Amino acid sequence: MGRIDLWVNNAGISGPFGYALDIPPDAWEQVIRVNLLGTYYGCRAALPYMIKQRNGQIINLSGGGAKRAQRFLSAYSTSKAAIVRLTEAFARDYQDHPYLRFNVLTPGMVPTDMINHFETVGPGGEAIKQLPRVLRIFGTTAEETAELALRIVREGKNGQVFEVMPRHRAIWRLLKAALARRNNGSTG
């Protein structure tokens, strides 16, 4: 159609779930290639069209690791933190192009095939057993992610990180789960 008004880099993989040194180097590198370099090349594909038409917005999806490393997911966490810095770099590099916007969306733990089918290595296999409980407390939905993406498009901000599960919401969910567990324990 000759235009790219909105580009969303949403592809990503988690890689094996385990200690950083237990992950084979080629598997660790693959996560970086897919998540970080995939985002970079996606931006490179869309940006020339946006510059030519003097309009465009890129939303890069980040995730666990954007603010702090996730246990047993060193490559994933590293790639997602790097996506935030990459997005900030694009926003700063192209700040003289006010018609361009670059933002990050962190969807939280959306129960997708990636989360539901972790490959585990070493003690990661035991730790992954807690995932269903963690998802019940901290899980988000694809609908919440889509709503936030629409808000990003409407608000017209640049160089920002938008979270479906910000810290205050995570703390609230954790408190609700603790209260529910306490109430269920005291009535039983």
Exactly one of 19, 41, 49, 76 is catalytic; name it: 76
Of 28, 4, 5, give the one whose Cα is nearest residue 119.
28
Q: List phi, psi (to 5°) of 158.
A: -135, 135
β-sheet with 6-9: strand ranges across: 6-9, 56-61, 100-106, 161-163
Determine whether 76 is an active site residue. yes
Gap between the Cα atoms of 124 and 130, Å rounded: 10
Catalytic residues: 76
